[in-house]
Chains A and B, each alone.
Chain A
Amino acid sequence: MPEPEKNVTVQDIEAIARKYPAEKRFALAIMQDVQREFSYLPQPVFEVIHRHIGTPVAHLYALATFYKALSLKPKGQNVIKLCDGTACHMRGASNLSKGIRAALDIEPGESSADGLFSLELVNCVGSCALAPVMVINETYYGKVTMESLPAIIAEHRRASCEDTAASCETEVVA
């Protein structure tokens, strides 16, 4: 998992952009690579891509704001995707959203102050039988309840802390 607060330089982004031919159609591919590398699209991205392929900055910005997979703000080390599709919604996804707010003090679309978590509301992850479903990074959690939620979050917090030895003192055991 990349560090969200990594100092991104224009050279880093240029290196990514140069992997692609200078053609309009590669704008999205470059942005996806930058997103993967830095966990968000820092402001200079648009200027760099503009210089590389010629598409106006405003149009690139529009592209970036259209796709949910691209983010203008740094994402947390752990991305929580809370499903709010029909089945999950009926089975209390909104409650879980409140539970996550209580545990991490973040709303959907935000990242926690320690940079460990960010929360996204998604519309169906295709496992409705397990509703309500929550996906953290690549791990699926089915039939999540308000009772099981804190343990799942704590597990990921612990894993991140072991990796980075940072932010551990803010651990919340709900």
Chain B
Amino acid sequence: MSLNISIDGKTCTCESGEFLLEVARRNGFYIPTLCAHESLSEQGCCRVCIVEIVSGERSQIVVSCVYPVERAIEVLTNSEKVKALRGMTLALLQKLAPASSLIAGMCKAYGAPELPRLEARADDDTCILCGLCVKACAQLGTGAIAAVNRGIEKKIATPYDQPSATCIGCASCAQVCPTGSIVVKQDAQERSIWGRTFTLLACDRCGVILDTTEAVAYAATLRDAPPEHLCPDCRKQQVAQAFVGVYGK
């Protein structure tokens, strides 16, 4: 069923049950997010994407990335109330990740209060514990990392903080991390992540780096095929060459 909602005064059409953030983005509205990733399901944990919805006399703050639109509503993405709460949310996130330049920048841009009475976590911390990396690892990798401990001791780690035997070094976790908090070191031959070093595999033809040996092998087991040894471009070329002769010269 189609619905008409108003976002900052503009009428937008959406399907019933669609998440508000998606509708807003499609219609050209910018709502800041941290824990949302287009390829991974919504988590709704960073609370930065909050918006105000007005329905009749009532107004409420909702988390737009996990708020399904089910009736005609009026949405305000940048009301005074939203600005104040978003600022506070960012200020609290900064206490979690004081070393993150992204969070610091957002705090400045959204006028976050200082909160001098709250103690920040370790000075070098850049992780906001959104868990996007854990989700990416579970879906794209092998589930080698998870949120360990709880409360103020919570952190993302491998079991016993030891190099994980199941990690394939695909670095999906680092790629989705909104604050760039996962350290990956890479040169022409090797990639180091989560305390382990992996050998990189290069394309047989052009030498472009494919991925770690383990990640390529893992992808092969998923496809139930022999491990890939060409990069996407060279593979395309190879297929094209095979077809060149098919339809005559």
Does A associate with B in a complex? yes
Contact across chains for A61 and B150 when beta carbons are under 8 A apart: no
* Cβ contacts under 8 Å, A66 to chain B: 149-150
The reply to whether the CB of A56 lies closer than 8 angstroms to some CB of chain B is: yes
Contact across chains for B159 and A46 when beta carbons are under 8 A apart: yes
Bound-state Cα–Cα, A57 to B142, Å: 10
Q: How many residues of A contact B (CB 8 A)?
A: 11
Residues 43-60 of A contacting B (Cβ, < 8 Å): 43, 46, 55-59
* Cβ contacts under 8 Å, B138 to chain A: 56, 59
Residues 33-73 of A contacting B (Cβ, < 8 Å): 43, 46, 55-59, 61-62, 65-66
Contact across chains for B142 and A61 when beta carbons are under 8 A apart: no
Q: Which of A43, A46, A56 has the most chain B CB within a 10 Å cutoff?
A: A56
Min C-beta distance of A61 to chain B, whole Å: 4
Bound-state Cα–Cα, A56 to B138, Å: 8
Contact across chains for A61 and B148 when beta carbons are under 8 A apart: yes
A62 and B160 in contact, given A56-B138, A56-B166 (Cβ under 8 angstroms) = no
Bound-state Cα–Cα, A55 to B144, Å: 11
Contact across chains for A62 and B144 when beta carbons are under 8 A apart: no
Min C-beta distance of A100 to chain B, whole Å: 22
* Cβ contacts under 8 Å, B137 to chain A: 58
Bound-state Cα–Cα, A61 to B155, Å: 12
Contact across chains for A65 and B158 when beta carbons are under 8 A apart: no
* Cβ contacts under 8 Å, B144 to chain A: 56, 58
Contact across chains for B160 and A58 when beta carbons are under 8 A apart: no
Q: How many residues of B contact A (CB 8 A)?
A: 16
Partner pick for A57 among B147, B150, B166, CB 8 A cutoff: B166
Contact across chains for A65 and B150 when beta carbons are under 8 A apart: yes
* Cβ contacts under 8 Å, B149 to chain A: 65-66
Contact across chains for B143 and A58 when beta carbons are under 8 A apart: yes
* Cβ contacts under 8 Å, A57 to chain B: 143, 159, 164, 166
The reply to whether the CB of B7 lies closer than 8 angstroms to some CB of chain A is: no
A59 and B160 in contact, given A65-B150, A66-B149, A66-B150 (Cβ under 8 angstroms) = no
* Cβ contacts under 8 Å, A65 to chain B: 148-150
The reply to whether the CB of B146 lies closer than 8 angstroms to some CB of chain A is: yes
* Cβ contacts under 8 Å, A56 to chain B: 138, 142-144, 146, 166
The reply to whether the CB of B69 lies closer than 8 angstroms to some CB of chain A is: no
- As a 0/1 sequence over residues 9 to 46 of chain A, the CB contacts with chain B under 8 angstroms (1 = contact) are 00000000000000000000000000000000001001
Min C-beta distance of B220 to chain A, whole Å: 20
Chain B: CB-nearest residue to A54: B143
Min C-beta distance of B222 to chain A, whole Å: 15
Chain A: CB-nearest residue to B137: A58
* Cβ contacts under 8 Å, B145 to chain A: 58
Bound-state Cα–Cα, A80 to B149, Å: 22
Closest 6 CB pairs of A and B: A56-B143, A62-B146, A61-B159, A58-B146, A65-B149, A65-B148
Q: Give chain A's interface residues, CB within 8 Å of chain B.
A: 43, 46, 55-59, 61-62, 65-66
Question: What are 22 pairs between A and B in contact, CB < 8 Å?
Answer: A56-B144, A56-B146, A56-B166, A57-B159, A57-B164, A58-B144, A58-B145, A58-B146, A58-B159, A58-B166, A59-B138, A59-B143, A59-B146, A61-B146, A61-B148, A61-B159, A62-B147, A65-B148, A65-B149, A65-B150, A66-B149, A66-B150
